[in-house]
Amino acid sequence: MRIDFVSLFPEMFASVLSSSILKRAAEPVADPADPSKVRGAVVGYHLHNPRDFADNKHNKVDDTPYGGGAGMVMQCQPVYDCVMAAEAQQPELIATRIVLTPTGVPLSQPLVEELAQKPRLLILCGHYEGFDQRLLDELSPLEISLGDYVLTGGELPAMVLADSVVRLIPGVIGKASSHECDSFSPGSQRLLDHPHYTRPPQWRGREVPGVLMSGDHKKIEAWRREQSEQLTRERRPELLAGTLRVAGPATRSVAAVSTVVIRDAHEADYDAVDAVLRSAFPTDAEARLVRSLREAGDAPIELVAEANGQVVGMVLFSPVTIEGGDGRLRPLGLAPLAVDALWRGRGVGRSLVRQGVRACEQARAGAVFVLGEPGYYAPLGFETASGHGFSNPYGVDEPFRVHPLKTDLGPAGQVRYAPAFDGL
């Protein structure tokens, strides 16, 4: 993998990229069991400074914002020229462009896993008030946020992103199991990791749990699973039970932090769901679609997000028939996904999708995504899978990793929607 950093302060990266695992990943390393076997470097780091592309004698790359206001804005041309020059190096490696910004999609382990499979990442590090929006419109980078707080620049988040990605590249960490069962990872079923202990068996009156020294691997595994579930239930219940702890909108009289519950929709919710759909989309087509699907019996999985007794989001899966070269499949397709405007940006939509896919998994049904615009679904972590739909990076064992909409079914592949779609 090649990682390019576009930064006004490239000197900030030196100590991080030249230390520990990030350093080892960029160097040839001999196999401890057989020193004659040496694996080559698996990643290369490249730093680029937009100041080198400024067209003024002071290498100035920022200016005051149109419309007034505090702070400075990074200009389009120096950054754009810097990106083009960087990508001209090894142009055969197509770069996945990324910008670190508080307005981006939250960084998550499933997203990191997806990025670790890319051949090249180009990470834009903003500063001041960020980039001119026209630059972002032109480059169309994936916008990623580390969390609901603001830093002085994108350099520290870029290093965090690089560390989280590089450690997943095969060959970087000796044992793949070292990271496959980490918190949020597939091996832990996306839950929090269990507690860990090492020697000595007693320290300051505290003992290692006896089961870990019993030698009974089945009991140890059961204990670890129980601890993982308990810790997740106490600290991150949305990962286990379809609930989400989020900050409530300031414009409503709700507590500073609210519990959003993801649950099955009931008939009593339908009017509220209709209201959410009408507020989320420019026409009533989606609300009419959902009603039609229910009337036709084509809404086997419908979930709502509820906060303080109010429906603030919904998602629905409906049957589609996919015909391809190797026969017919009957998975479920995503119909409208909607979140109340005041609750967007808090992970409600992502949790609706994830809980919906779990429901599909329990029903032994595949999930494919066949509706919507990339600009709406991309912030949730989707990537275009074909001209017909979208796939998702949450994990290889989850059902939306099925491939009916991809080209491996052959050019004859077609998508047929449920009957309720026909009149829309």
Q: Which residues are marked as active site?
A: 102, 129, 167, 182
Task: Identify which of 389, 381, 319 has the alpha carbon closest to the alpha carbon of residue 352.
Answer: 381
Task: Identify which of 2, 126, 136, 158 has the alpha carbon closest to the alpha carbon of residue 61.
Answer: 126
- Taking the C-alpha atoms of residue 131 and residue 144, their distance in angstroms, rounded to an integer, is 14
Residue 378: count of CB within 10 angstroms of its CB:
17
Across-strand partners of 313?
305, 339
CA-based angle 98:104:109, to the nearest 5? 75
Residue with tokens 């990791």: 193
Residues 6+ apart with CB under 8 A from 114: 381, 383, 393
Q: What phi and psi values does residue 38 have, to the nearest 5 degrees?
A: -125, 125
Across-strand partners of 264?
303
Cis, peptide link before residue 200, omega less than 30° from 0: yes
